[in-house]
Structure 1
């Protein structure tokens, strides 16, 4: 098996060391110590050792309950520093812009979007009005953003001055307008006010698309299901079933969806076989970007693509919530070979 690049690892660690927020680190250590009844200085020391030696991000340590796990159990978890190395190694920098820029992404993956979209330019005010009025409600995005930033929702009946609306979008850099996705009833039953995306992390080895992990995200009625909008997630097993309650990186655990009362552990992703075939197809479009976190939505007609993240990020199991004390790193290693 090939080892990951030590130079990339060194640079990443140095950059993280320069950015350490001591107050935030202490708060994370206190959070973990309270939850797992451990002495805070011991947890802090363990966090620093884990970060420096075992490539465990500080938030990874908290989110995945490392304070309650053995070393062998910890070693089964994918972490953000390791994920970053995989991104740097397997996602060709010459082609990352096709994922990083949402307009470029829509152009590249147009056959898989299954919804109408348009770019907003200085000369298409009338076209924008026609588009918004035709759809009633639209999603407008800034071309570059992450974690749901730069995503907005607008209603046609709330616009009183179309010229000012068009000018305002241009001035704020909100340049991509999309038709709202109509999600499958099984997803809408949990949160009808937000399009609930499924994160499927994959590695394309040149011949086969390996599904490394699947997570179902749940929104709270906002424009995005990201945590910055109150969203949370649950990991899915190979049959598309939620393995337990939902959780986020802010210490919140949801046995039931807060808005609909649906039990998160009862969720099963519809059309799983179609999702797997769909993911295999999209992973082959830009084969030089091999490690990707795809966000898809299952609609009544089948899966549609929302976006692909070349810096895939990490979604993992939370032992204190699910009772499962192992993560997904063995799947990553088996598929990628590191």
Structure 2
């Protein structure tokens, strides 16, 4: 079964094709250079860029997979959450393509896509915990079965990736902030700057990262070396994510955990997860950022489990919760 997936929830135009769960191609057009001058994503510019390149990206994906559009069995796209303008570009294009080809259409939850991207090629099945950490999300779910998602905790303010971006801006680094912080942290001492782990010792499984930005500003004004600030900040974010995940795994008797999203590319986080004593599933580095293959994988999994196609009247939902009409 050939499935084409489109992802345009933020600033990457992704088109991927999978055949019976195997990735044939995963084409991504990044907008990093477009938005880097602003230090973050400008929604209107992102929408226009998606509209400008999406047709070319679909053609490129079909060519890379060596197939024709008429050979597709299913067309899918992200329906939410995300920025409404970018979401509408991909969703509308996918519905139009499905209608023109007379093929079924599926709208996919963005976070469910990240989950399937992390599990690509592993054959792993629930139950497991899922931590999704990115620029827009920090969510922890218990997944007892496919299609069943229980939200255990989420960030109360900034997402983890957003915090990386903001601290990078404080230190005069580039965008996106995650890779910049990681590079600088390699030259610093993670224990010199007295950061504290947010939410440590609190009940529940929520996260909080906005206070780290304020602390980074204070430490920078206090004369601490930028490399030490970067190293200390990275340390406490990793401790917060891994510590909360381990506690939830213990409390819910889950040894298998999936960690996905852009922050999952951070090498310090990956190292800490490998030493956590848990069975950890991490995405390949090229699957950590937003992409179309993860959307195609999620749609293929839903289809093989007998879920019906969605109507072409399906709307984009910028604040769509996972597990509720997802």
TM-score by length of 2: 0.27
Larger radius of gyration: 1
Say which structure, 1 or 2, has more relative contact order (CA 8 Å, 6+ apart): 2
